Amino acid sequence: MSKFLNVCQHLHSGRNTYRIVAVSFGLLCILQVAVNITLRLSRRTTEGPNKSFQQGWVYFGSSLYFISSTKLPWLQSRDDCQQRGVFDFMLKNFMGKFHRLTWIGLTHQAETMKWNWVDGTLLTERNITCVEIRFFEQENSWNDIRCYEQNFWICEKNAL
């Protein structure tokens, strides 16, 4: 009988070893999946879509932003965005702590006395010719300025 117990104990200890190996392998698989997901998300938020990223676009949130390094008047800034495939030239979220006077896609039509975003929507706030944004001085600060003045500009487009 003791020989039978020894065999049973030996088989039982072998099963425990296999269980430990199986559980360890399962945990390693779960860890590998977590690492893969983390790396993909990290790469996606820092690099964005590769083609645009290589052409000077910055990926942020679900959009791509081109930030100019030169200054142009408002119309040429808008034209540059259109040449880059961006037709709305308007920013509503991305400024953060960007320390440059920057054109936004808002103009005043003298004949109608209305302010329009370049996508055609009307501005609901008043008292603004062309508009530059000055986030580094005070958040949400806009400054009306003559459209022929030169400023940096930012083009925004969907990353998807």
pLDDT in tens, 43-56: 555 544 455 455 77
Q: In the prediction, which pLDDT does 137 show?
A: 55
Q: In the prediction, which pLDDT does 71 show?
A: 92
Beta strands 130-133; 114-117: pairing state: unpaired
pLDDT tens per residue, range 30-40:
888 777 787 77
User: Residue ranges of the domains in the chain?
Assistant: 1-47, 50-158
Mean pLDDT of the chain: 71
* 80: number of Cβ within 10 Å: 17
Helix (H, G, I), strand (E, B) or coil at 146: coil
Of how many residues is the chain composed? 160
Q: What average pLDDT does this structure show over 6-10?
A: 55
How many whole angstroms separate alpha carbon 109 and alpha carbon 130?
Answer: 10
50-158 CATH choice from 3.10.100.10, 1.10.10.10, 3.40.50.300, 3.30.2090.10: 3.10.100.10
Quote the tokens at residue 96.
């953060």
Task: Name the DSSP class of 138.
Answer: S
Q: Which of 64, 94, 67 is nearest to 159 (CA)?
A: 64
pLDDT tens per residue, range 95-141:
444 555 666 667 767 677 677 777 777 766 544 467 777 655 565 56
Percent helix / strand / coil, the chain, rounded to 5: 40, 25, 40
Name every residue whose Cβ is closer than 8 Å to that of residue 127 and which is 6 or more positions away in sequence: 144
Which DSSP string do the residues of 80-134 spell out, in sequence order? Answer: HHHHTT-S----SS--TT--S-EEEEEEEETTTTEEEETTSPBPSS----EEEE-
